[in-house]
Amino acid sequence: DGGITQSPKYLFRKEGQNVTLSCEQNLNHDAMYWYRQDPGQGLRLIYYSQIVNDFQKGDIAEGYSVSREKKESFPLTVTSAQKNPTAFYLCASTLGAGGNTIYFGEGSWLTVV
């Protein structure tokens, strides 16, 4: 079945460590997105990519990095510079750059220990 796969579902990070969240889609979508969601809050855009080898900062990009080497993959690295990384992270994709339905993965929980 087509969809977006995020892994791992749960991840624990020690302070000072970088961690990478995986996002893979087999929908042949051009655009991919990373959102952060804190408990009881809405979605905040971290980074997005409309085509391979190109990406743009969202509203809260500080402390995060991404790459888009393949159309189907858009990994997110949470760096040690992100001081409050504990959150629910959602990856999403759309067929085009705008005016299309966004499809979401099931999310990854990141906790700092």
Partner 1 sequence: GESVGLHLPTLSVQEGDNSIINCAYSNSASDYFIWYKQESGKGPQFIIDIRSNMDKRQGQRVTVLLNKTVKHLSLQIAATQPGDSAVYFCAETYTNAGKSTFGDGTTLTVKP
101 binds partner 1 (CB under 8 A): yes
Residue 107 binding partner 1, by CB under 8 A: yes
61 binds partner 1 (CB under 8 A): no
Own/partner pairs, 3-7, CB within 8 angstroms, 24+ separation: 3/27, 3/103, 3/105, 4/91, 4/92, 4/93, 4/103, 4/104, 4/105, 4/106, 5/105, 6/89, 6/90, 6/91, 6/105, 6/106, 6/107, 6/108, 7/108
Number of other CB atoms surrounding residue 56 within 10 Å: 11
What x/- string results for residues 39 through 58 when contact with partner 1 is judged by CB under 8 A? --xxx-x--x-x-----x-x
* Minimum CB distance to partner 1 smaller for 48 or for 74: 48
Binding mask 77-96 for partner 1 (x = CB under 8 A): -----------x-x-x----
Binding site for partner 1 (CB under 8 A): 4, 6, 31, 33, 35, 41-43, 45, 48, 50, 56, 58, 88, 90, 92, 97-107, 109
